[in-house]
Chains A and B, each alone.
Chain A
Amino acid sequence: MANATANDDEAIFKAVQDAVERHGNSREELIPILNDVNHEIGYIPAKAMHEINRLLKTPESHLYSVATFYRMLSTKPRGRHVIQFCESAPCHVVGGREVWETLQEHLELAENETSPDGKWTLITTSCLGVCGVGPVIVIDDDIFGNVTPDQVPDILSRYS
C-alpha cells in the first residue's frame, strides 16, 4: 500500500495530480480523489491536502472535515501493512474475540496503534461484507476468512 515515504513530496504531488486528472477538479469528486491518494500514499499527508485545496479551490477545513469522517481515509501515517479486524456481531459470535486477542498479543499492539518499526497498523473495522466466512481480517487488500487464533502467526508471516 505505502509505496512512497511521507517525505517524498514528488510522489505526493503526483498522486494528487493523477487523481484530480482521473476524476476532474470539481468538489463533488472530492471523495474519489481522497480515496485514490490514500490508496497510493497509504494516508493523506498535509502536503496532499494543500495541493487538493489548490486544485479544487476548496477550503482545507472542508477537506479535513471530509477526510476524517470516512473510515477508509486516514490523515495520519500508517504502517506498511494495515490490518483491519472486523468487530461486528456476525464475526464476534463465531469466535472473533479470540482472534482479536491473539492479534494484539502477537503484534504487541493495541487498537489503532502502529508498530515502532512502521510495519504494522492494527485497526478495527465494522462489517466488511464477507460474513459468510467469519471471523474475517483484511490485510491491505487481502481478505482472510474463517480465521482461527492459531492461524494468525502464519498469516502475518506472509508479509514482509
Chain B
Amino acid sequence: MKTYRSMVLVSSDTQSVERGANEVFQQFQQEIKSFGLENEVSLSMLGDVGRHDAIPMVVVYPEAVIYGPVKPEDVHFLVEEHLYKGRIAADLQASVKELSGRIAWLSARKGTLPAEQRIVLERAGLIDPVSIDDYIVHEGFESLGKALTQMKPEEVIEEIKQSGLQGRGGAGFPTALKWGFVRKAAGDMKYVICNADESEPGTFKDRVILESDPFNIIEAMTIAGYAVGASEGYIYVRGEYMLAQERLRNAIRLSEEMGFLGKNLFGTGFDFRIIIHSGAGAYICGEETALIESIEGKRGEPRARPPYPTTNGLWGKPTLVNNVETLANIPAILRHGAQWFRSFGTPGSAGTKVYTILGNVNSTGLIEVPMGITLREVIAIYGKGMKGGAHFKLAQTGGSSGSVIPSSLQDTPMDFDSYKLAEVSLGSGALLICDERTCVVDLARVLQNFFRKESCGKCGPCRIGNQRAYEILTNISHGKGTISDLAHLGEISENLYQLSNCGLGQTSATPLRDIMRHFKSEVDAHIKLKVCPAGVCPMHG
C-alpha cells in the first residue's frame, strides 16, 4: 500500500450526507488537487462515529484532529492551513466537550474524557467502509483464515461458548447454543441469516455497524456458515437502509473478487455465498420466522414455534438467525480469544453493548460500553446530563416493546441478569430518556398506536388488543376515562402477553404494564381528577 503524509476522513453516514458531506468530500478532492497535494494526502470516507452534533465531520490523521461541522466553503481554508501550512485550524475544530464515541476514545487517551469500550464498533470511524484494503490492514479476515485453516467447526462453537456471548437482538439467548442446534440439525442444506431488519423505534445501532464496517459482518457470517455447516447466507436489511445496502453490496462484491467469499475459501474446500434481501417496511419482519417468510416472498407473518428455525427455517431447512450486533462480535472473539472477551462486562453478561441514547438529554447518539453500566452513568457521562437541567422521569429501554423504568431503577446495572431480576428488559439497546414534561398516558398512547399499526393481524389478541388499548388510552387522554378502564387495560395487557402467537404481541403490552405498575397515580389523575399532571394531554373533546 502507498503511504501518505496525512490522511483526511470525511464522515459519510446517512445523517452527514443529509447535511452536505458529499459536497465537502468533493471540495476536498478539488482543493487537495489545486494545492498539488495528491501524493501526500489521502482522502477517504469515514463511517458513522456515533455522534451527530458536529457533522459533517472531518478527521485528519496522524494528529487525529477533528473538525466539525464543516461546510464546503470551509474546505479551502482547512486544506491551506492544516495540510499545506501544517497549522491546526483551531476555529473549525469540534469542541471536545460536545463529542463522545470514537472521538472520546481518542481524547480519553489524553485523559480528558471517559472512554467507551469498543469491540463491535472497533473500526467504526477509523477505516474507510468501502475499501477492502483498509479492512484487511486492520486485521480484517484474520479470524476467518484462522477458523477455516486452524479450527474445526466444533472448536469455533466451543470458543464462542467459552466467551459467553449472548444474542444482542433483545432476547439474550446464548449464541453458541443456537449455533450448536443448527450444527447438529439433520440436513445437507443449511442457511445463515443476518437479521438487519432493525425496526425497534429508537434503535439504529445495526445501521451504524453496517454503514461503518460492512466487511466485519461478511466475515462473521462466513465464520458462522463454516461453524454450522451452511453454504449460503442471507442478510435481511430493512428497506429504508439504502446506504447500508449499498455498502454491503460493495463489500460482498469486493470480498468475492479477493476470494474471501465464493468457492473453496482459503483452499479448504469450504464454499459460502451471501445474498442481500431488502425489506419493504414492516416492523414484524424483525421476528425471525416472519423474516424467513418475507425472504420466501410472502407476507411477513410469524410462524408457530416450535419447530424453531434451527431445525425448520428458510425453505424448511435448518437456519441460523443472528442479529447484526451479535455477529459483529464474532471476528473479535476469535482473534483475541474467549478469555479476552470475558474480561469485559459482568460475570453473567460478557462483552459490551451498543446503546442509542435519545430523548431529553444534552447529547444524543450511540455508544458502546461494557455490560453492567447503569442508566445514571449513561445519562450523566454520555448523555451529558438532562437537557435544560430538567429532572429525569423515566426511560424506555429497548424500543417500543421495551420496559418503561422509573428513576428508582436508574442504578440497576444494565446486564441480562440484573435486568431480569428487576423484571425489566434490556431489549435492543435503545435508551429513550424522558424528563418530567413527558406524560405517561400520552407515551403509552403513542406506543400502542405503533403496535396497532405494526401488528401483522394474524392472531386476534394482538390485532384487537392493541387497537382496543389505543382507544382506551386516547379516551383517557381526552378526559373521558372511567374507573373500569384500568381493569380493561390490565386484562388486555395480560391477554397480549399470554395469548399472542409471537414475540411482538407478547411484548407489545410491556410498556403499558410497566406504566400501570410504576406510574399508576399519574394514570389515576387522568381518570379520577380529569387532570394531566404533565400538561400534555388535551383532557377535553
Contacts and interface: CB of A to CB of B under 8 A. Distances in A.
Interface of A: 26-32, 34-35, 62, 65-66, 69-73, 87-90, 92-94, 125-134, 141-145
A72 B239 contact: yes
A72 to B, nearest CB: 4
Contacts of A35: 239, 278, 280
Contacts of A62: 298
Nearest to B51: A132
Contact of B280 (A72, A90, A92, A93): A72
Nearest to A142: B18
Given A31-B294, A129-B238, A129-B241, A93 B201 contact: no
Interface in B176-232: 198-204, 207
15 contacts: A28-B295, A28-B297, A31-B280, A66-B299, A72-B240, A88-B450, A89-B447, A94-B359, A126-B454, A129-B241, A131-B202, A131-B204, A131-B358, A143-B15, A145-B52
A126 B298 CA distance: 21
Contacts of A141: 242
B300 interface: yes
A155 to B, nearest CB: 12
Contacts of A87: 446, 449-450
Interface in B104-159: none
Contact of A132 (B52, B238, B278): B52
A32 B277 contact: yes
Contacts of A30: 297
Contacts of B22: none
Contacts of B203: 127, 129, 131
Given A90-B432, A132-B366, A127 B199 contact: yes
B18 A144 contact: yes
A127 B203 CA distance: 9
Given A27-B297, A35-B239, A130 B430 contact: no
Interface string B264-288: 0000000000000111111100000
Contact of A70 (B296, B300, B430): B300
Contacts of A127: 199-203, 399
A93 B386 CA distance: 13
Contacts of B18: 142-145
B299 A129 contact: no
Nearest to A96: B446
Given A69-B456, A126-B454, A128-B240, A88 B201 contact: yes
Contacts of A72: 239-240, 279-281
Contacts of B432: 89-90, 93
Interface string B386-419: 0000000000100110000000000000000000
Contact of B438 (A32, A88, A93): A93
B318 interface: no
Contacts of A128: 240
Contacts of A88: 201-202, 400, 446, 450
A40 to B, nearest CB: 14
A101 to B, nearest CB: 12
When A and B form their complex, which 4 residue pairs have the shortest distance between CB atoms, in order from nearest? A71-B281, A88-B201, A70-B280, A72-B281
B297 A31 contact: yes
Interface string B353-394: 000101110001110000000000000000000000000000
Given A71-B281, A88-B201, A143-B15, A129 B240 contact: yes
B434 interface: yes
Given A32-B277, A66-B297, A70-B282, A89 B202 contact: yes
B364 A89 contact: no
Nearest to A128: B240
Contacts of A29: 297
A88 B240 CA distance: 15
Nearest to B295: A28
Nearest to B198: A129
Nearest to A141: B242
